Structure 1
Amino acid sequence: MRQIGLATMLLAGTALSALAEDLPVRSVTLSSGGLAQIERSGEVAAGGSVTFRAPTTDIDDLLRSLVVADPAGTVEGVRLPARDLAEEAFRGLPLRPADFESRAALLNALRGQEATATGATGRIADAQETQQGLRVTLITPRGLVTALLREGEEVQLTDAGLAARVARAAEALAAARTADERRVEIGLRADRARNVAVLYVTGAPLWKPSWRLLVPAPGSTQTQARLQGWAVVENASGSDWERIRLALVSGEAAAFHQPLYEPIRVPRIEMPVRVPDAVRVQADTGTRPPPPPPPPAPAPMAAPTVQGGVAERQRALGGAPSGFAAAQQDRADPSAPALPIQAAATAGRVAFALGEPVTIRAGETANVPFLDARLPADRVWWIQDLSARNPLSAIRIRNSLPTALPDGLVTVFGAEGNEAGAFLGDAEIRTVAQGDTRILAFARDRDVQFTTASSSTDRIARIGARRGFVIVDIARTEEVAIAIDPRGGRGPIIVDVPRRQGATPRFPVVAEGDFGLRAEATLAAEPATMRLPFERAVRQEVPLWDAGLGDLVLLRWREFDIEQNQRRLPGGPGTLERLQEILGRTAQDVPGRADLAATVEALEGVRRLLDELRTRIRVWRVTEAALGRARQAVEDRTGQELAEARRRLNAASRESEQAAAVADQAWENWLRAVQALLTRGG
């Protein structure tokens, strides 16, 4: 089927300007926060503009962060197709994207529009493909004219504005087929050629560091480990990176996304159309008595006043940048990176700049070295889990570089002896600030074994008193003992133990952190025991009187079952024995021991008085029982027996009264002793 050049037909009378070549990428800085700072630069002719393509997903970031450096020109603005390109381009046109499926469908969609074809001018009535070519029917003032268009012939729209809009719709339709990217044009105005740079920040796959660590052998005199850093980098920018300057940044900068490229319509409050209000009439219901007057108002009260204030303080943090050049290593295995690496650190941010250009095509993934350094290191054993049987094999490194080291996985290799070149294991390295130390565990040492045991001992540190209580301050030692058999091995062993709330470690703590408390010892080929004691202050209060019995003065022995409640009473079983046991465990030089001894002696006296009281109460109960029997006998007897029963009743009554008086005296003696006991320490 013959075709007519649609560009010529649709652009009738309009000119197409040649698109400028894309401004190339010169420099890329990748952030561990998932951002990329891209710099494009190149020479721009006088009156020229800057154009380049960018992924649609990056346009929001580009619009908010774009910076143009033009030494001799003026920036007019940034232009790019609309987000919904096709919808905007077809708005107001008698066309839809489906009309571009064929030239006949396109002309039929333009029915009624005035056009010129093969010298005839009229309004388009119909278009149809035939064997001979495209037959177009035009309506002219004199009737219908049919034009047959052959190769190279065109249809021109009389309305140049409509023709231009149709051309833009066709361009938008073509651009919409690649909706994942947009062409950005930056308008510049200058009278001469010059070098222009464009800088912007977009989202990007974060670069992922990985580490290679060559460690000395156990017991070696070597005091350094070699650390090499490699970075996995993805080019998802949609543009080739041809011999660019690449920098890798590790930091936690705040980053936001805002939909600047998305059309946003602000909802408005809908105002109703005003119409006349309906006429409403209340029916007359007659008269009513007037309402009573209100009561007189009370005198006003003064309002309370409230005074308050808010204090605000602001702190400003800052730091001076610093940098260093990593020393090139001459060792042959493994090889040092071919390009020199520069690292620079500022507050909270570390940047590694590769010293030679890098080429990464769009969509490619690269693995590039960014660090090669030697750090102070030593081999150690590390116990993290006290319930395990074997310690971890680990390397302790100190960051002697003037920059921080970012997170990553470490592949550990041996550097000497039987381990030379051998894979030893993997470890995880978390961000290491300048001067910080990290322990990297890469395996478990099955040769070395350990066993743990826990114990707790109490030592009375002080005795005190307050009214009704003996205060015992105890120093409790909670100890973790670790028996270690190094099987002939020598070197440092590090143990991490959890913190204990309220307890103070009584062993040298070399470090504290999320791991808890860290202790260290040196094994010398023989079995050894590490002891890690904690001391906790414990206070015990021994009550001398049960507060649940109420006020001591208000108690009456006749209304109180002493036998049933004797454990709650001073002098009863329990309290005295407990204090005697505490006194027996208290060293002679403990403060307050003499007072405790005096309290125990006083409580022993209270015990004797309580036992005497209990005896007197039992005697009284016996006499009370006899008195009750005597009363019953008087009621059951008559004649001579009644007189004898009355005599016995009088005798039993006297005995009961005497027993009660003796019990009262015993109660008073016990009460006075208890009151004297309870006032100790008051």
Structure 2
Amino acid sequence: MASKWLLVAPVAGTLGLGAGVGADRLLSAAGEAKQDLKPATTLPVTRVVLFNSGVGYFSRSGEVDGDARVDLTFPESDVNDLLKSMVLEDFGNGRVSAVSYDSREPVARTLSSFAINLNNNPTFAGIIGQLRGERIEVAVSATAANQPGKLTGTIVGIEKQKVPVGTQTTDTEVLNMWCAEGMRAIKMSDIQSLRFSNPLIESEFRRALEVLALSRDSQKKAVQLHFAGEGKRKVQVGYVIDAPIWKTSYRLLLKDQEKPYLQGWAMVENPTDEDWSTVKMALVSGRPISFKMDLYNPLYINRPTVEPELFASLRPVTYQGNFNGRAERSGADKQVFNYSLGLYGSKDAGVPAPAPAFDAPMPPTGGKAGGLASGTFADGAPALGKMRLAEVNDPAAEAQRRKHAAGTAAELVQRLGTGSVGNAATAGALGDFFQYTIDHPVTLPRQKSALLPIVGKNIEGTRVSIYNAGVQAKHPLLGLRLKNTSGAHLNQGPITVFEGSTYAGDTRVLDVQPNEERLLSYAIDLGTEVDPKAGAGKQKITSVKAVKGIVTTTTKVTEETTYKAVNRSQTDRTLLIEHPNRTSQQFKLVDTDKPAEDTPEVLRFQIALKASDTKSFTVKEERDDVSTIALTNGAEDQIRYFVSLNEISAGLKNKLNEALKLKGAWDYTARELNQVNGDLQRFTVDQDRIRKNLRETPKESEVYATYLKKLSEQEKEIDALTAKQKGLTADEFGARKKYEDFLANISD
């Protein structure tokens, strides 16, 4: 049966949008809803779909007769989700008329609309300062200096004054009033009470306080659904709101020579204030993206203020008449756009067409209507107004559009809530999600929780002992390699394990897809012991290469870990050894059996361990460490180290030896230069000593002549050393450059 449906979108106070309902009909429907005095119809919850993402889909359905109103109440926190997701259907000869709810202004905006603005917790002085010019009556404390008991006057303002306190001064707020006897100043601390003479101000103050009180009220909000039509028919409303996630817990029964038996329970809660009576329930295992958006509070945006342009007054302008009489206007001038009404039309047309809708499809060209081409206007604009009018007046197109919209909504609701009938719960894929449909109606009182069976099947599983040194250094853990052959997606949750009728331990499982294998561990295996021993490790240089003065050394690092396992029990064991997976550290297995399982964190090696048996298993890993060194003029020790390696090629060794020779030649020249520099330094010091002695020695003395002779000889030697220094400096620079250039071009 076709249905009229409504996807709710918020508007201020009243909202409604029906297929093919015009603006005039929408207003009429809203007016009819206001005038409806019939008792409200009750729509009980008939279907609940819970998700793992903190939301739930709730469907209400029932029968209405004629024009009907459905009253619902929701916590204020759910109103935004309700406005975002509500879907309404009217099956039969009816339609969705409107949805009304109590709108609400933001508290800050409401408070700012009163004569006294109580936003931002104003002080006593701040409140009085807002009412300058108002008459008040003030009661002053008896301890106030030179003040009568009561004063009546007009508020002038609030100021701060310096008041002496002992030997210091402090700032005090003072109320300035205009009284019958003149201006008075009263300390705010001396005011015991204050009343406003204007009853409007008293009323505004009281209403502002009431708004503050109501803003903290978490009472439920009323939502009214209005349906219009004739006769009895079925209606339905669905919505998505906050709901506790449903959880799972499992029981795993292990028996010898039998398959493990898995029993799964879903834990659901009814946090609402309404009993769920024989509702159809489905549990979806998935993580749909869900978010909150503020659609309930009216939102305002700031608009720019534009100053009007001011022009100087002009003298009246007069115009002469047309010599040839009144000019005839062109056909294009006859086509007008009525900006005041927002209508396209023609002066020759009887009724103007509606303004073009921005979302209307582009109409085909051709044909005439009302003096205008249906494809374009005279200025080239598409005749969208004419096209939209034709759509509305076409009964066949309107019926087809309603049928398509109703089918889309019914398909959406059916996808959220359908499921087949099976055992305790029927499991099935729902796109990328997985759904459990509870086969029998569920009754759950308000504020109560329940356990619902969803899985009860034998599954495949193999007993194993799992050893991981990071979990338990000495003993492995008793476990099970479980294969999910239940045919259902297993949601994450705890598992309680029983050995026969005896409790064996607890474990936890993450989400397991059908036919996926997963390891479980539930107890310590005291009958098996594992002793891991790490070897000393080896390092060996495997190659030395040089490219443009950069020497690359490759060193092979080998590490070994030996696991010695002892089975002291009387039953055979399948031991899984979890070894760290170091692939990201460039390690690779060598001379080691391939692991049974490879995960990003560990490699699992499987060993069959008979009763009272002992085995050792060695994991050997290798990786290549590569280091690079740039040969510089200070790398002589590194060069000698590379030359001493047996792994170096003969060609590279010869080049490095040649580099050492060049380094030796550079060192020899540098030593010669240092010797000359030292001699020059020594002569400089000696000449300073001789000059000092000459100043103190008489010229007639014999020693004076000796000093002059020695000074003259040293000058000759300094000239010779200076020339030699210049040559050695050039030689040292050339030798160093030759050595550095040679190093930078060594390749082998």
| In structure 2, distance between residues paired with 1:76 and 1:665 | 102
**Mapped partners of 1:56, 1:479: distance in 2:** 64
Deviation for aligned residue 1:198: 3.1
Name the SS for the 1:448 alignment partner. Answer: strand
Could you tell me whether the CA contact under 8 Å between 1:326 and 1:343 is conserved in 2?
Answer: no
Q: Distance in 2 between matches of 1:43 and 1:437?
A: 49
Q: Which residue is 1:375 aligned to? A: 459
Counterpart amino acid of residue 589 in structure 2? R
C-alpha displacement at 1:350, in angstroms? 0.9
Give 1:344's aligned residue: 428
- Secondary structure of the 1:578 match is helix
Number of the residue aligned with 1:197: 236
* Aligned residues of 1:208 and 1:231 also touching (Cα < 8 A): yes
Residue 276 (structure 1) shift: 11
Q: Is the 8 A contact 1:43 1:194 kept in 2?
A: yes
Partner of 1:516: 601
Instruction: Indicate the residue corresponding to 1:505 in structure 2.
Output: 588
Tell me the residue number matched to 2:56. 36
The CA distance in 2 between the partners of 1:625 and 1:183, in whole Å, is 104
Given that 1:380 and 1:396 are in contact with CA atoms closer than 8 Å, whether structure 2 keeps it comes out as no
1:247 corresponding residue in structure 2: 282
Match of 1:490 in 2: 573
CA distance in 2, matches of 1:178, 1:352: 35
Q: Which residue matches 1:137?
A: none
Q: Distance in 1 between matches of 2:246 and 2:740?
A: 80
Residue 385 of structure 1 pairs with residue 470 of structure 2: yes
TM-aligned CA deviation for residue 352 of structure 1? 0.2
Inter-partner Cα distance in structure 2 for 1:235 and 1:622: 98
Structure 2 unaligned blocks of 5 or more: 1-34, 108-216, 312-414, 695-701
Contact 1:616 1:662 in 2 (8 A): no
Whichever residue aligns with residue 407 of structure 1, its letter is Q
Aligned to 1:366: 450
Cα contact 1:427–1:442 (8 A) shared by 2: yes
User: 1:62 and 1:624 mapped to 2: Cα distance?
Assistant: 98
Contact preservation (8 Å) 2:597, 2:605: no
Q: Which residue of 1 aligns with 2:628?
A: 540
Match of 1:301 in 2: none
Query: Aligned-pair distance for 1:340?
Result: 3.2
Contact 1:55 1:238 survives alignment (8 Å): no
Q: Distance in 1 between matches of 2:729 and 2:239?
A: 100
C-alpha separation in 2, matches of 1:26 and 1:251: 22
TM-score by length of 1: 0.56
Cα distance between partner residues in 2 of 1:34 and 1:259: 18
Matches within 5 A, 1:160-309: 179-180=219-220, 182=222, 184-191=224-231, 193-215=232-254, 224-260=259-295, 262-264=296-298, 266=300
- 1:282-338 deviation per Cα after TM superposition (whole angstroms, max 9, x unaligned): xxxxxxxxxxxxxxxxxxxxxxxxxxxxxxxxxxxxxx99x99999xxxxxxxxxxx
Q: Say which SS state the counterpart of residue 209 (structure 1) adopts.
A: strand
Mapped contact 1:457–1:477 kept (Cα < 8 A): yes
* 2:638 corresponds to: 575
Deviation at 1:230, TM superposition (A): 0.8
Deviation at 1:679, TM superposition (A): 4.3
Q: Deviations over 1:349-384 (max 9, x none)?
A: 111001122211222211111122343333240427
Instruction: Give the deviation of 1:257 after TM superposition.
Output: 3.1
SS in 1 for 2:567: coil
Aligned partners of 2:55 and 2:741: how far apart in 1?
79
1:459 equivalenced with 2:536 (yes/no): no
Q: 1:52 to 1:231 in 2, by over 3 A?
A: farther
Conservation of the 8 A alpha-carbon contact between 2:589 and 2:619: no
Q: Give yes or no for contact 1:226–1:374 (8 Å, CA) kept in 2.
A: yes
Query: How many Å apart are 1:185 and its aligned residue?
Result: 4.2
> Following the alignment from structure 1 to structure 2, what is the Cα–Cα distance between the partners of residues 579 and 413?
66
Specify the code of the residue in structure 1 equivalent to 2:629: E
SS at match of 1:61: helix
The alignment partner of 1:579 has SS state of helix
SS of the equivalent of 2:91 reads: coil
How far does residue 247 in structure 1 lie from its aligned partner after superposition?
Answer: 0.8
Q: Residue 56 in 1 paired to residue 122 in 2?
A: no
Preserved CA contact (<8 Å) 2:68 2:228: yes
Q: 1:610-660: CA deviations, max 9, x gaps?
A: 897799889999999999999999x99999x99x999x999x99x999x99
Structure 1: unaligned runs, 5 residues or longer: 1-14, 88-176, 278-319, 328-338, 415-419, 547-567, 587-591
In structure 2, do the counterparts of structure 1 residues 476 and 423 end up closer, same or farther at CA, with 3 Å as the change threshold? farther
Please give the alpha-carbon distance, in whole angstroms, between the structure 2 residues aligned to 1:65 and 1:386: 47
8 Å contact from structure 1 (residues 342, 352) kept in 2: yes
SS of the residue corresponding to residue 281 of structure 2 reads strand
Residue 73 in structure 1 maps to residue 93 in structure 2: yes
Partner of 1:431: 511
Structure 2: distance between partners of 1:388 and 1:20: 69
After superposition, residues 599-614 of structure 1 pair within 5 angstroms as 599=655, 601-602=657-658
The 1:276–1:494 alpha-carbon spacing in structure 2 relative to 1, beyond 3 Å, is: same
Q: Name the counterpart of 1:131.
A: none
> Given residue 429 of structure 1, which amino acid in structure 2 is its aligned partner?
V
Structure 1 CA distance, aligned partners of 2:668 and 2:655?
20
Task: Map 1:314-325; keep pairs closer than 5 Å.
Answer: none
In structure 2, how many angstroms separate the alpha carbons of the residues matched to 1:465 and 1:276? 83
* 1:340 maps to amino acid: A
Letter paired with 1:457 = K
Paired residue type of 2:651: D
SS at match of 1:595: helix
Q: 1: CA distance between counterparts of 2:61 and 2:50?
A: 18
Q: Shift of the alpha carbon at 1:481?
A: 1.5
Equivalent-residue separation in structure 2 for 1:615 and 1:81 (angstroms):
99
**Who is 2:493 aligned against?**
408
Asked if 1:593 is matched to 2:649, the reply is: yes
Do the aligned partners of residues 423 and 188 (structure 1) sit closer, same or farther apart at CA in structure 2, a change above 3 Å counting?
farther
Seen in structure 2, the aligned counterparts of structure 1 residues 663 and 37 have a Cα distance that, compared at 3 Å, is closer
| C-alpha distance after superposition, 1:88-121 (max 9, x if no partner) | xxxxxxxxxxxxxxxxxxxxxxxxxxxxxxxxxx
Q: Describe the shift of the 1:663–1:491 C-alpha distance in structure 2 as closer, same or farther (beyond 3 A).
A: same
Aligned equivalent of 2:328: none
The alignment status of 1:680 with 2:746, answered yes or no, reads yes
Secondary structure, counterpart of 2:289 in structure 1: coil
Give the secondary structure class of the aligned counterpart of 1:70: strand
